[in-house]
Amino acid sequence: MTSVSKPRVSIFGIGYVGAVTAACICKDGFSVHAVDVNQAKADSLGKGISPIVEPGLPELLKGAVDDGLLTAGTSAVYAIDNTDLSIVCVGTPSLRNGNLDLSYVAAVAEDIGKAIGQKAGYHSVVMRSTMLPGSMDKTVIPILERASGKKAGVDFGIAYYPEFLREATAIADYENPAVIVLGIKDDETLSRLRVINSKLTSPEFLVDIKTAEAIKYANNTWHAVKISFANEIGNIAKAAGIDGHKVMEAVCADKRLNISTVYMKPGMAYGGSCLPKDLRALRYSARSMEVATPLLDAVADSNDNQIDRAFNMIAATGKKNVAMLGLSFKAGTDDLRESPLVEIAERLHGKGFKVKIYDENVRYSALTGANLSYVRAHLPHLADLLVASIEEAKEDADVLVVGNNDFRFGEAVGDKRDDQLVIDFVRVSKEVRSNNQDYAGLCW
């Protein structure tokens, strides 16, 4: 198989993403043949007429046609025969039940697969349509393989390359993406995509196909959450006679905690002396002003669900001897107030588990004030459960629960006995994932 230095590109679906992608690829000097089932749309694009309203797009399309770089038609066979790589940009609308409608994706995969089956050369199929994680493995690839009689990643290339284009700024977003995410199955398709993207300088994330699908959904869902959060804060602020825009302007100016990677890693529920009580107080204040806060309400429910999930993972082992490594809500503090680990320890004790707890920073005799009051109310047995060393906690344990990110807990897990199970709430190592044997991560 010989790598193509400048791959010829076909694009299936001349909608929003397809038209912008075609124009931008042509601008970078590549030839593109666009395909759409709508003959009128294909004819218009072939004349350089934009199918959508997008600043700068009509000029790019007209220039691409005038330069002989952009053509359009309706034949999948022609497109596959005359190009090296196909980018699929067809729509994935919602069904009535909320699921995605993959009928357009399935139809184009069928057409491309049949055409690949008749082609002697190695062709790459790159999906950009937004699809739920697993859609490529469960729907797209099986259709392509059945229709072509060939094996994905062996006889033809396959990749998932999500787009992050915003309407009205799509060309700028294409030319300067925040990240490039490539879900790859074969080296030849990766090589071709890198040639097409050679003018882009954004960081590249090379992942498996399912992860690439998940990244796209995480992005879109996060944007929706941010908008709803800002709206709820604005609604509360207005009811209190405050300018919500000024509130959020200051919030967004904090790049250390607010607009940053901090708190953005999956793991244990939040706790401590601030977040739980302040969220409760804000929700109460909103209710008193008759302002609905469904997102903020759901935050509390989601946090409770994470605590339930953590406890259930321990209970599901069927083992009764548990060593909890960490009790404070994070390493480096003795603050036990509303630590989710305190609640888990109390549940375990109440359910008859034999629990030993080690936390370097937690000494019962040193607890004072609100911290002591909270423990007496929520874990009155703490003095009997605390041990003086990691080794003592591990000694008779069947299950090791890593509750916070004290660096020594990673070492303790590495030195465990073969018969001990590890349930990790903080991911002591980026290299480990749940293995259905002796290690289970909370959400990885």
| Binding site members for substrate | 164-167, 216, 263-267, 271, 330
Residue of 24, 89, 252, 274 marked catalytic: 274
Task: Write the CB contacts of 366 (distance below 8 Å, at least 6 apart in sequence).
Answer: 334
Q: Write the DSSP string, 252-316.
A: HH-TTTTSSSTT-S--SPP-SSSHHHHHHHHHHHHHHTT---HHHHHHHHHHHHHHHHHHHHHHT
Report the candidate in 332, 308, 312, 314 with the shortest Cα–Cα distance to residue 400: 314
Q: Write the DSSP string, 13-28.
A: --SHHHHHHHHHHHHT
Residue 252 designated active-site: no
Token couple for 108: 């184009």
| Gap between the Cα atoms of 115 and 147, Å rounded | 8
Residue 270 and residue 229 in contact, taking contact as beta carbons nearer than 8 Å? no
Residue 48 and residue 11 in contact, taking contact as beta carbons nearer than 8 Å? no
406 exposure class (CB count in 10 Å sphere: 0-12, 13-18, 19+): buried
Binding site residue list for NAD(+): 36, 41, 92, 130, 167, 277, 337
Report the candidate in 212, 159, 209 with the shortest Cα–Cα distance to residue 188: 159
DSSP 95: P
State which H helix or E strand residue 46 sits in: helix 39-46
| Gap between the Cα atoms of 12 and 34, Å rounded | 6
Residue 350 and residue 384 in contact, taking contact as beta carbons nearer than 8 Å? no
| Gap between the Cα atoms of 279 and 332, Å rounded | 24
Residue 11 and residue 22 in contact, taking contact as beta carbons nearer than 8 Å? yes
Report the candidate in 431, 413, 408, 411 with the shortest Cα–Cα distance to residue 423: 413
User: Where do the H-state alpha helices sit in 316-435?
Assistant: 340-350, 369-378, 382-385, 390-394, 407-414
Partner residues linked to 180 by β-bridges:
204
Distance set, CA 251 to CA 81, 238, 246, 285, 387 (Å) = 54, 16, 9, 19, 42
Amino acid present at 247: V
Residues tagged active-site: 274
